[in-house]
Structure 1
């Protein structure tokens, strides 16, 4: 390599990309955010289960699904489709605020 070539290479050495900055690195903790998404999904799933359970419990309590054939029986197909309250959040609120069963006094 001649001196003129060496001078040209030294002149353009600063324009060469540094390999440590060539690829973009992320400083976000992906494991923590994945756990947040998973736990949020589980919380939403449990809220949906609570709404369904409270809907069926209230329908049984108010006798909204009587069996048409057997007196005192329950129509199980009706329990899956009944809307015992007007809104789903009413079931959720009742389920969150009434943790212990009510005692008859």
Structure 2
């Protein structure tokens, strides 16, 4: 190779993209996505807990699970399976709207 060809090849090598740096994986990206997944799971779990608590609170307030024998007692089996509103999002809406106890 003469000097002219070597100069062209050197220029080509310098202008070529760095293939080692094209796909960089950093721990910062993994940490961010891990936090997103964990926090999304936490929010999902909290929504389920609020919906369940509001469902049971509404059933108690409307006396839907009174014991058949002892009228002042609560039927605990009923509390596990009661649906006091038609949809779960109604429980969530009510719980988010009413954050203070009623007087």
Q: TM-score range by the shorter chain?
A: 0.7 to 0.9
Question: Size of the alignment, in residue pairs?
Answer: 89
Deviation at 1:68, TM superposition (A): 1.1
RMSD: 2.3
Quick one: distance in 2 between partners of 1:100 and 1:80? 25
Secondary structure of the structure 2 residue equivalent to 1:29: helix
- Find the structure with the greater CA-based Rg: 1
Larger helix fraction of residues: 2
Output the TM-score relative to the length of structure 1.
0.74
Deviations 1:23-60 (A, max 9, x none): 84325711011101100100010000000000000000
Quick one: distance in 1 between partners of 2:72 and 2:65? 10
Secondary structure of the structure 2 residue equivalent to 1:67: coil
Deviation at 1:72, TM superposition (A): 0.9
Output the TM-score relative to the length of structure 2.
0.76
Query: Gaps spanning 5+ residues in structure 2: where?
Result: 1-8, 13-17
- Counterparts of 1:83-98 in structure 2, within 5 Å, are 83-98=83-98
Query: Gaps spanning 5+ residues in structure 1: where?
Result: 1-10, 15-19
User: What residue in structure 1 maps to residue 15 of structure 2?
Assistant: none
